[in-house]
Amino acid sequence: MKPDLPIGLLAAGAFLGASAARIIDPLLHVVATDFATTVPAVSVIVAAFSLPYGLCQVVLGPLGDRFGKLRIILFALCAYIVALIGCAMATSLPMLTLMRVFAGATCAAAVPIGMAYIADAVPYAQRQITLTKFLNGTVLAQILAGPVGGIFGQYFGWRGVFIALAAATLAVVIALAMRLQTLPDPKREGATFSLTNYITLAQPGLPRIILLAGFIDGALLMGAFPFLAPYLREEFALPYAAIGLILACFGVGALIYTRTARLLLPRLGEAGLVIAGGILMTIVLTIGMISPAWQAFIVVQILLGLGYYMLHAVLQAQATEMLPNARGTAVASFALALFMGQSVGALGLGFLIAHFSYRTAFMIDAALILALAIWLRGRLRLAG
């Protein structure tokens, strides 16, 4: 890794971008009260963020390749600040929804283009370790965004949450802009959107396998994740605060991975990480479904987070090699596949729950996770 790479600043940008997805969730009832409507009605601001976040990957990735990844990240974060201020100043639910769409579209650059920038500068042998440092930002956002939003919102209101997020993002933008001239940020001459790149990704071979694996990865775990909260509520009648803390334990497991990846990767290799992660997720999810005690889900969530990132981090590192000359396009395409998988997975698991039960749906999901890990080990060209 080059010593002057702004890993900390990029991770901070990723943290602030990812935080916007969940930071307002604890305050939906407050937003509903302010606009004299119901919580189900204001829940549209959640979807209003996530949909453009996923779809804009396909635009922002090629822009990063063409004009420089750091420059596009800076431009997008500046627009993100405007969107956050717009959220804070919204005078109606439709206006807030529109600003959330804008926020989702603009902060979508922080994670995939940041990963692509690091991949351009770091050899593959050291890349996964470096990427785990960067991904600390998104992992911490998973853990802290909800609790921090709830606490901050209690004292300063939901508008204050958006203002604070905008101020923190501005600080990162200023710090990154001050270093821009001293940092490598190569541009690629030629058309911004090259159809050839997408044809290459779609052809039979490793890139298509990685995209398919990313889609399945998103479907089997991230698509299932939203259903854990209603399961815990219906099965154990837990208060929502307790459920939120249990779900946050997933991020704790992910953080454990980022702190131990330097030890795990040399010992297990990428193939070993994939298999171990798949087996771990399958076992703990099965245990959670047969356990009569809600306390088991604290451990289940921690180990799910660890197992998920053991497998997912390998895919992320492999994705950076799909198009070495257009990594922004490649990583953004992988992120889009992950997002699409999450959407399809949520629909699929919802169907299973509606026609069978939570337990049946999650047990099927656990078996498919193991199948994915076995398939990946056989199909991907993994080190180790």
* 44 close to 97: Cβ distance less than 8 angstroms: yes
Are 172 and 204 in a shared domain?
no
Are 146 and 63 in a shared domain?
yes
Which residue, of 183, 217, 235, is where some domain finishes? 183
* 74 close to 113: Cβ distance less than 8 angstroms: no
What's 189's DSSP letter?
Answer: -
- Provide the residue range defining the domain that includes 15: 1-183
DSSP assignment string, 30-65 = HHHHHTTS-HHHHTHHHHHHHHHHHHTHHHHHHHHH
Are 149 and 177 in a shared domain?
yes
Are 214 and 298 in a shared domain?
yes
Q: Is residue 56 part of a domain?
A: yes
* 136 close to 11: Cβ distance less than 8 angstroms: yes
Q: Is residue 208 part of a domain?
A: yes
CATH number of the domain at 35, please.
1.20.1250.20
Are 164 and 204 in a shared domain?
no
Are 20 and 145 in a shared domain?
yes
Are 211 and 153 in a shared domain?
no
Are 261 and 339 in a shared domain?
yes
Q: Is residue 191 part of a domain?
A: no
Q: Is residue 189 part of a domain?
A: no
Which residue, of 159, 183, 207, is where some domain finishes? 183
Q: What is the pLDDT of residue 111?
A: 86
Report the alpha-carbon distance of residue 384 to residue 380 in Å, rounded: 12
Q: What is the pLDDT of residue 188?
A: 60
Q: Is residue 137 part of a domain?
A: yes
Q: Which residues of 4-29 are buried (b: 16+ CB within 10 A; e: fewer)?
A: ebbbebbbbbbbbbbbbbbbbebbbe
Q: What is the pLDDT of residue 189?
A: 56
Are 252 and 363 in a shared domain?
yes
The domain tally of the chain equals 2
Q: Is residue 232 part of a domain?
A: yes
Q: Is residue 188 part of a domain?
A: no
Cβ-count burial of 283 within 10 angstroms (0-12 exposed, 13-18 middle, 19+ buried)?
A: middle
Please, what sign has the CA dihedral across residues 57, 316, 309, 69? negative
Are 142 and 18 in a shared domain?
yes
Cβ-count burial of 165 within 10 angstroms (0-12 exposed, 13-18 middle, 19+ buried)?
A: buried
Q: What is the pLDDT of residue 1?
A: 42
Report helix, strand or coil for 4. Answer: coil
Look up the pTM and report it.
0.79
Q: Is residue 161 part of a domain?
A: yes
Are 338 and 207 in a shared domain?
yes
Mean pLDDT by 10 residues, the chain (384 residues): 71 89 78 84 79 82 84 94 96 93 90 86 82 83 78 85 95 90 65 67 81 92 81 85 82 89 88 94 95 94 94 89 83 85 84 90 96 87 48
Are 347 and 382 in a shared domain?
yes
Q: Which residues of 110-125 are buried (b: 16+ CB within 10 A; e: fewer)?
A: bbbbbbbbbbbbbeee
Which residue, of 130, 159, 183, is where some domain finishes? 183
Q: What is the pLDDT of residue 281?
A: 97
